[in-house]
DNA sequence: CAGTTCGGAGTGTAAAGTCG
DNA sequence: GACTTTACACTCCGAACTGG
């Protein structure tokens, strides 16, 4: 809002990325700057970590577009957890230079956005209004609304103790592409897992690296008669003659081998392999996000995903009960159902409040009921001891 | 249309569990 | 004891809603 302090165009913070920059000799796709290599997965494709996505390298400089839309040169594959690049690395195109950092970057997806920074402790006013606070006291917002006198830190509830957590499922650091090894037609082609390498032991169901429901591959025989159908979630990778297939543990991003970065694995993707037969490569159903069935919902319902429905102050998970999200988006507020109820409730509450407040505003006496509790008709718990500033807000 | 409300995604971190 | 994993507590974004 315009009223909320200029939280606006927060200076683009350098974004930590799980992938490394392209090594010397590799040319990132011109649509993104080296600083943001690799680019976010195309819209509609599977969210991070994308099984893999494809971008033309080298000659496909937007400044010199290929009018014929010819097949792209070898691809650059950001491939979790390591990197795999087209082989051999294409020489820089004539006149091609790395794009400037200001090159128009594709809109950042939510998963690519800079991390939100939170203050350790919001003041009671901001907390009650669910608004951004800052470390200073009085905070900017309270000053702005003239409620600086009531701008104090709230008290943090003590964390529950003695919660049983059960045995942890530790991530396997040295995941091996063992079961994923299938010798291809010419002896040096193999199937590689699309997405994170398979976990060798109990997978971490809450880990986003768990390979989700990826649709079976398109008919490979249509591309090459020698192809066999890969195991679900795998795609063909060809290793050039003499280049050893990676039977060794797949290095993790950032892993150093004798002080050196993990090796870059050359590979081929057969021409015409479905997702890459057109340029630019369209989102392929194989890599599109699965429809309704989300692994986290089905694989382990008990696992709490980051950002799982927040428990109310009373511990209820109203949102879950009501199926709060629609396609991962916020529930549209409608006048029907619970929303309608809430609306009515709120109106009622407002009425009651304005009556009750009357001459003594919350901001003045410094006491009140938290908004989230929606203390309508006093039916909610009143345990929140936050100082509500809605009186102050609505009064300004 | 500016301002308010609030659902819930995203973040921080303490507690519990694991490992060397 | 250090590290990792998990989940609680919390912040605050942003869409829905309200009132002038």
For residues A183 and A30, give the distance between their C-alpha atoms in angstroms, rounded to a whole number: 34
Domain extent at residue A140: 119-155
Percent of chain A predicted with pLDDT > 70: 14
Q: Strand B within 7 Å of which CB atoms in A 312-341?
A: 318-319, 322, 324-325, 328, 330-331
* Helix (H) or strand (E) segment spanning residue A392: helix A390-394
For residues A197 and A203, give the distance between their C-alpha atoms in angstroms, rounded to a whole number: 11
Q: Is the CB atom of residue A105 positioned under 7 angstroms from any atom of strand C? A: no
For the beta sheet containing A55-56, the strands, ordered from the edge strand earlier in sequence to the opposite edge, are A55-56, A75-78, A83-86, A265-267
Q: Is the CB atom of residue A304 positioned under 7 angstroms from any atom of strand B? A: no
For residues A276 and A285, give the distance between their C-alpha atoms in angstroms, rounded to a whole number: 13
* ∠ CA A79-A83-A84, rounded to 5°: 90
Write the DSSP assignment of A312-355 as a string of letters. PTTS--HHHHTT--BTTBPPPP-SSHHHHHHHHHHHHHHHHHHH
Closest nucleotide to A391, Cα to C1': B4
Q: Which residues of A60-81 are buried (b: 16+ CB within 10 A; e: fewer)?
A: bbeeeeeeeeeebbbbbbbbbb
Which pLDDT score, from 0 to 100, does residue A183 have? 29
For residues A374 and A353, give the distance between their C-alpha atoms in angstroms, rounded to a whole number: 11
Measure, in angstroms, how far nucleotide C10 C1' is from residue A157 CA: 9
Top-confidence residue, A88 or A173: A173
Point out the residue nearest to B19 (C-alpha to C1'): A170
Is residue A52 within 8 Å of A19, Cβ to Cβ?
no
Instruction: Say whether pLDDT at A159 is over 60.
Output: yes
Could you list the beta-strand ranges (E) of chain A: 55-56, 75-78, 83-86, 189-193, 234-238, 265-267
Top-confidence residue, A159 or A9: A159
Domain count for chain A: 1
Strand partners, A55: A76
Residue A142's pLDDT band (boundaries 50, 70, 90)?
A: confident
Measure, in angstroms, how far nucleotide B15 C1' is from residue A159 CA: 8
Please report whether residue A149 resides in a domain.
Answer: yes
Is residue A288 within 8 Å of A44, Cβ to Cβ?
yes
Q: Is the CB atom of residue A165 positioned under 7 angstroms from any atom of strand B? A: yes
Instruction: Say whether pLDDT at A151 is over 80.
Output: yes
Measure, in angstroms, how far nucleotide C8 C1' is from residue A312 CA: 12
Please report whether residue A187 resides in a domain.
Answer: no
Over range A17-25, report the average pLDDT: 33
Top-confidence residue, A299 or A282: A282
Please report whether residue A130 resides in a domain.
Answer: yes
Residue A107's pLDDT band (boundaries 50, 70, 90)?
A: very low
Q: Is the CB atom of residue A160 positioned under 7 angstroms from any atom of strand C? A: yes
Q: What is the mean pLDDT of chain A?
A: 41
A294 three-class SS: coil
Instruction: Say whether pLDDT at A24 is over 50.
Output: no
Measure, in angstroms, how far nucleotide C6 C1' is from residue A197 CA: 23
Q: Is the CB atom of residue A134 positioned under 7 angstroms from any atom of strand B? A: no
For residues A267 and A291, give the distance between their C-alpha atoms in angstroms, rounded to a whole number: 31
Q: Is the CB atom of residue A131 positioned under 7 angstroms from any atom of strand C? A: yes
Please report whether residue A171 resides in a domain.
Answer: no
For residues A48 and A41, give the distance between their C-alpha atoms in angstroms, rounded to a whole number: 8
Over range A13-36, report the average pLDDT: 32
Please report whether residue A319 resides in a domain.
Answer: no
**CB-facing half-sphere around the CA of A290: CA atoms within 13 A:** 15
Which pLDDT score, from 0 to 100, does residue A171 have? 56
At A350-372, the pLDDT tens digits run: 444 443 333 333 333 333 333 33
Measure, in angstroms, how far nucleotide B20 C1' is from residue A195 CA: 31
Give backbone dihedrals phi and psi of A343, rounded to 5 degrees, phi first. Answer: -60, -50
Which pLDDT score, from 0 to 100, does residue A138 have? 86
Percent of chain A predicted with pLDDT > 90: 0
Residue A163's pLDDT band (boundaries 50, 70, 90)?
A: confident
Please report whether residue A113 resides in a domain.
Answer: no
Residue A60's pLDDT band (boundaries 50, 70, 90)?
A: very low
Please report whether residue A129 resides in a domain.
Answer: yes
Find the CATH number of the domain harbouring A123: 4.10.240
Strands A83-86 and A265-267: parallel
Instruction: Say whether pLDDT at A40 is over 80.
Output: no
Over range A33-51, report the average pLDDT: 35
Is residue A279 within 8 Å of A71, Cβ to Cβ?
yes
Length of chain A: 396
Which pLDDT score, from 0 to 100, does residue A248 have? 36
Q: Which of A13-22, A115-124, A339-348, A349-358 is the least confident region? A: A13-22
């Amino acid at each position: 809002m315009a009223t909320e302090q200029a939280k606006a165009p927060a200076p683009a913070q350098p974004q930590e990325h799980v992938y490394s920059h392209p090594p010397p000799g590799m040319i990132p796709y011109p649509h993104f700057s080296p600083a943001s290599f690799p680019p976010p997965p195309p819209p509609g494709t599977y969210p991070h970590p994308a099984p893999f996505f494809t971008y033309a390298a080298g000659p496909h400089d937007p400044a010199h577009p290929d009018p014929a839309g010819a097949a792209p040169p070898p691809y650059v594959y950001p491939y979790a957890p390591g990197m795999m690049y087209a082989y051999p690395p294409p020489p820089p195109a004539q006149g091609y230079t790395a794009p400037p950092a200001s090159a128009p970057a594709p809109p950042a997806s939510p998963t690519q956005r800079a991390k939100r920074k939170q203050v350790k402790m919001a003041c009671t006013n901001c907390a009650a209004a669910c608004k951004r606070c800052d470390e200073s006291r009085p905070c900017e917002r309270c000053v702005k609304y003239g409620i600086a006198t009531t701008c104090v830190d709230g008290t943090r509830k003590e964390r529950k103790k003695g919660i049983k957590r059960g045995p942890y499922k530790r991530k396997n650091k040295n995941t091996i592409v063992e079961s994923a090894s299938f010798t291809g037609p010419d002896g040096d082609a193999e199937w590689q897992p699309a997405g994170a390498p398979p976990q060798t032991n109990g997978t971490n169901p809450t880990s986003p690296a768990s390979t989700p429901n990826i649709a079976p591959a398109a008919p490979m025989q249509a591309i090459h008669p020698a192809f066999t159908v890969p195991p679900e979630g795998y795609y063909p990778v060809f290793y050039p003659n003499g280049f050893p297939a990676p039977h060794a543990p797949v290095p993790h991003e950032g892993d150093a081998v004798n002080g050196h970065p993990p090796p870059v694995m050359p590979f081929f993707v057969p021409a015409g392999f479905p997702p890459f037969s057109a340029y630019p490569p369209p989102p392929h159903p194989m890599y599109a996000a699965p429809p309704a069935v989300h692994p986290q919902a089905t694989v382990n319902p008990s696992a709490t995903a980051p950002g799982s429905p927040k428990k109310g102050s009373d511990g209820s998970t109203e949102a879950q009960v009501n199926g709060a999200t629609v396609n991962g988006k916020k529930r549209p507020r409608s006048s029907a159902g619970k929303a309608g109820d809430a609306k009515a409730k709120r109106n009622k509450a407002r009425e009651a409040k304005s009556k009750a407040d009357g001459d003594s505003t919350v901001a003045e006496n410094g006491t009140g009921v938290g908004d989230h509790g929606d203390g309508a008709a006093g039916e909610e718990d009143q345990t929140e001891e936050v100082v509500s500033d809605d009186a102050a807000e609505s009064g300004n």
